[in-house]
Amino acid sequence: MVNPAGGVLPGTVVPFPGGKAGQVGFTREELQRILDLYGRMVAAGEWRDYAMDFDKDCATFAAFRRTAERPQARVEKRPALRNRQGMWTLFGEHGQVMKRGHELLGVLAPMERRLVKAV
């Protein structure tokens, strides 16, 4: 809503400029879980960089050992697969599917175990 003076009224939710309609993203809680794992992997010396990609079909978080390499791990959220194998997929360094599921914590479990071994 716009007030007569031309500004936006307080309490009005304004869409982010440049955001795409129907774009898949991570919720705050999901991103918090992913970044928590990322921070612990950085502290263990396993990862140094990350990238996020948001598309109309999926949202992806990729973690890198070094910037110029392939991602060491990639977490993908595909809501279209929610009623099938689950919308979460963990891919390994060579693109192999390491884990699929309906819950993010279960899909991140192989990386959590790897972290325990690294420490």
Per-residue pLDDT reduced to its tens digit, 7-64: 666 666 655 555 556 788 888 999 999 999 999 999 988 899 999 999 899 999 999 9
pLDDT tens track for 72-95 = 999 999 988 888 888 999 998 888
Domain edges within the chain: 28-118
User: Is residue 84 within 8 Å of 102, Cβ to Cβ?
Assistant: no
Give me the sign of the Cα torsion angle 65, 67, 71, 76. positive
> For the whole model, what pTM was predicted?
0.76
Mean pLDDT of the chain: 83
